[in-house]
Amino acid sequence: MSDSSRRRLVLLVFMQGLVVILVIAQLIRLQIIEHKRLSDQAIQDHSRRQVLKAPRGQIFDRNGDLLVGNSTRYEIRTDPGSLSSVDRTVNSLSSALGMPLGDLRVALGKSQTNVLVATELPMTVGRAIDKLGIWAVSATPYWRRAYPEGSLAAHVLGFVTVEEKGYYGVEGYYEASLRGQKEEVPVVVDVWLGLSPFDFRHIPNPRPGTDLVLTIDRTIQALTEGELARALAETGAQSGTIIVLDPHTGDILAMASLPAFDPNAYPTTPASQFVNPAISMAYEPGSVFKILTMASALQSGTVQPDSVYNDMGCSEMGGQVICNWDRQGHGVSNMVDLLAYSSNVGAATLSTRMGAQTFYRHLQAFGIGTPSGVDLQGEAWGSLRVQSDADWHESDLATHAFGQGLSATPLQMVVAVAAVANDGIMMRPRVVAQMINRSGDNDLDLKHSQAKISSGDFLPGSVEEAPGDQVETARPAILGSPISAQVAHTLVEMLAQAVEREVPQARVPGYRIAGKTGTAQIPVPGGYYDDPWTIASFIGFGPVRDPQFVILVKLDRPTISPYGSTTAAPVFQRLAARLFILRGIAPDDNWELASLGAR
Amino acid sequence: MNRLSKWAMHVKRAGRPSWLWAVRLALIVAMAVLVAGLYLAQASQMSTTGRQLESMREQHDQLKRENAELLYLISRDANIASLQQRSAAKGLVPAENIVYLAVNSGE
């Protein structure tokens, strides 16, 4: 080998060695010295945080009919600076969205990034735009709460804001359970910003919110709302409330208040209409409260049904003159007369004979002055002054006996009277009967499942379970036993006789009804009453042989008549008659036999 | 003679058959190709599976949305108000004057 060849060989080896050294040095720089910075940058460039939201839990009525569901909406966003052709994009979007070209040009002409072009788009439109595959235009789906029944049971259901937070009713009370899981996961994206196919170690599947099965029956709810609307129209009442409750379980079958609202359109509704008067607005119940006064007197042994008193029409008690609603005296009267004539003097006589301690102890046992514990957001306490309170006056003992000077919510009144209808056992009112925790993959179709909730009892397993689902069935809960079964039976009979004698408007042919009318004045600030306005009400249950429901009808400020007997009682009668048919409750035996015999 | 030339001469003198080197080299290359092929096949398989999974996840999400949407739409079209309207249009009225027949159970 010549010297020149040797020199070239040496030079070649040197150059190759240099290259190898440079490569190694570069590798050391990239892999060791700047490893962290470059690694972080790579992660930043190729990773995104993807937020996946599971849908909110659905709400069904007791028969599996959907009351609250979820609908999918789309929003369209774009990055105008990245559009390859604004004109082409405008034309494509315009035809898909049905938006004027000019509006789109304005939106796409902005110099901002992530410009919102359209929102609240139906699923079909959103999908169509997504399929167009326009670069830098994204169609993103999101969940929107949907109420297929419109305003039906709105006060019970509540509503959900665009921030996906529930307020009022079931939506508010069960917010934590209903809310779907939100999962934020880091994902690696490719150059088209799609998920990298190499990163499938974690497939996110956030858990949807818990489904709820209510005790509400949508048919009964609709009937109730219909009768309430008719009552407002016929009596000129400004507002009203009707509650239908199963006394044996505490299940609220219907709870209607008017004026109501449509949860689908909650942003345009005055905030005052969201409040559920049935649970949140305490009122002076008036004469329907005499049921509790009489129950207390019977339970304490103060009187028997045939005990008598002298009804003079007016009487001074606790330094205040108490008069009957018509100022008429009925002379020597027994306890059924007291209920039939709705005597204030008689009721005040009972509370005075019982004494404050006994009377208030029984009222508290009926839950007056304390929330019932219903699973709805915003329940009020009501108020009950007792003898140990500083602002209690001796005359309160008399006025409280006929439902004045204290307040209770309509639901508290229904729950207390339901104890009379349920052998003296007071049940906790409830709206949710079952909670279904879905595993995430099972879409339970209650409507078309074989099992339906048809009876008053929600037994475990009464709803078809899908694999992985957890069904929690709420058992009816007892609040207490304010009166004995014997006293309850006695009082039911007395109330039935009172209706038969004095409230024909509430009687349903074929069925014995027990109940009581109420006509209450409306207190206003300053210790006065808002004359001549009244709250007219009727609370009753039937059939007496085995009460299937307790109904409270409450009408605020009726114009045709101030009295519960002429305004609220007929509403009760119509509703009860429909419910007997709807629930397949046969007439009383003696009526049935007489009817058949007449044929 | 430098050290490199000496090493080349040493290899020549070793007298080993050249085909043996060729076989060794071929084996090494084949091994490398095999490893690279396996890697590519595995990577390709992963890529395909990943895309399939992502596609199925999207499809799953879409089907869940469609299911919820359909349930809502069915419920909206069969809500109480529309049932009342349709039944009224067919001339149906609320049941009244129900007659209950007593059945003798024989007891």
Q: What is the pLDDT of residues A463-512, one digit of tens each?
A: 445 666 788 888 999 999 999 999 999 999 999 999 999 999 999 998 99
Who's near A540: CB < 8 A, 6+ residues apart? Answer: A495, A499, A506, A513, A514, A515, A516, A550, A551, A572, A576
Q: Residue type for B49, please? A: T
Chain A residues at the B interface, defined by Cβ less than 8 Å, are: 1, 6, 9-10, 13, 55, 58, 65-66, 69-72, 123, 141, 143, 146, 148-150, 152, 194-200, 203, 218-219, 222, 443, 445, 447, 578, 581, 586-587, 592-593, 595-596
- Spatial distance between the Cα atoms of A491 and A301, rounded to a whole number of angstroms: 13
Residue-wise DSSP of A297-341: HHHTTS--TT-EEEE-SEEEETTEEEE-TT----EEEEHHHHHHH
Mean pLDDT of chain A: 88
Residue A52's SS3 state is strand
Q: Residue type for A357, please? A: Q
- Give A458's pLDDT tier (boundaries 50, 70, 90): very low
Contact A200/B53, CB-based, under 8 Å? yes
| B8 to chain A: closest CA residue | A1
Our CA-based measurement puts residue A400 at a distance from the nearest CA of chain B, in whole angstroms, of 41
- Give A462's pLDDT tier (boundaries 50, 70, 90): very low
What's the DSSP call for residue A48?
A: E
* pLDDT at res. A258: 95
Nearest to A71 by CA among A87, A47, A55: A55
Residues A541 and A522: beta-carbon distance below 8 Å: no
Q: Which two tokens stand for residue A274?
A: 């969201």
Give the residues of chain B that fall short of pLDDT 70: 1, 8, 11-17, 105-107
Buried b / exposed e along B48-68 (16+ C-beta atoms within 10 A): eebbeebeebeeeeeebbeeb
Return the residue in B79, B87, B101, B105 with the most chain A beta carbons within 10 A, the one to mutate for interface testing.
B79
What is the Cα A100 distance to its own chain's centre?
41
* pLDDT at res. B107: 55
Residue A342, Ramachandran bin (φ over 0: left; ψ between -120 and 50: alpha; else beta): left
What is the pTM for the complete model shown?
0.84
Cα torsion for A75, A262, A407, A488, to the nearest 10°? -110
* pLDDT at res. B16: 62
pLDDT (tens digit, 9 = 90+) per residue, A348-398? 999 999 999 999 999 999 999 999 999 999 999 999 999 999 999 999 999
| Helix locations, chain B, DSSP H | 3-13, 18-77, 80-89
* pLDDT at res. A108: 78
- Spatial distance between the Cα atoms of B10 and A12, rounded to a whole number of angstroms: 21
| More reliable by pLDDT, B1 or A135 | A135
What is the Cα A496 distance to its own chain's centre?
32
- Spatial distance between the Cα atoms of A477 and A372, rounded to a whole number of angstroms: 11
Q: Which two tokens stand for residue B25?
A: 């080299």
Residues A352 and A398: beta-carbon distance below 8 Å: yes
- Spatial distance between the Cα atoms of A262 and A57, rounded to a whole number of angstroms: 19
* pLDDT at res. A455: 40
- Give A45's pLDDT tier (boundaries 50, 70, 90): confident
Phi, psi of A472 (to 5 degrees): -105, 120
Residues A358 and A433: beta-carbon distance below 8 Å: no
Residues of B in contact with A1 (CB under 8 A): 1, 5
The pLDDT of residue A202 is above 70: no
* pLDDT at res. A4: 84
- Spatial distance between the Cα atoms of B7 and A9, rounded to a whole number of angstroms: 14
Place of tokens 């009187």: A303
Cis status of the peptide bond prior to A371, with omega within 30 of 0: no
Chain B residues at the A interface, defined by Cβ less than 8 Å, are: 1-2, 4-5, 46-51, 53-54, 57, 64-69, 71-72, 74-76, 79-81, 84, 94-96, 98-102
pLDDT (tens digit, 9 = 90+) per residue, A171-196? 999 999 999 988 877 777 766 656 66
- Spatial distance between the Cα atoms of A61 and A223, rounded to a whole number of angstroms: 15
Contact B68/A199, CB-based, under 8 Å? no
Residues of A in contact with B85 (CB under 8 A): none
Who's near A28: CB < 8 A, 6+ residues apart? Answer: none
- Spatial distance between the Cα atoms of A344 and A284, rounded to a whole number of angstroms: 14
Q: Which two tokens stand for residue A228?
A: 């309430």
| More reliable by pLDDT, B67 or A43 | B67
- Consecutive H or E run containing A552: strand A549-556
- Spatial distance between the Cα atoms of A434 and A251, rounded to a whole number of angstroms: 12
pLDDT (tens digit, 9 = 90+) per residue, A549-597? 999 999 999 999 999 999 999 999 999 999 999 998 988 876 554 444 3
* pLDDT at res. A191: 63
Residue A215, Ramachandran bin (φ over 0: left; ψ between -120 and 50: alpha; else beta): alpha
- Spatial distance between the Cα atoms of A341 and A346, rounded to a whole number of angstroms: 9
Our CA-based measurement puts residue B51 at a distance from the nearest CA of chain A, in whole angstroms, of 5
* pLDDT at res. B50: 80
Place of tokens 């046992």: A365
Residue A300, Ramachandran bin (φ over 0: left; ψ between -120 and 50: alpha; else beta): alpha
- Give A1's pLDDT tier (boundaries 50, 70, 90): low
- Spatial distance between the Cα atoms of A440 and A206, rounded to a whole number of angstroms: 7
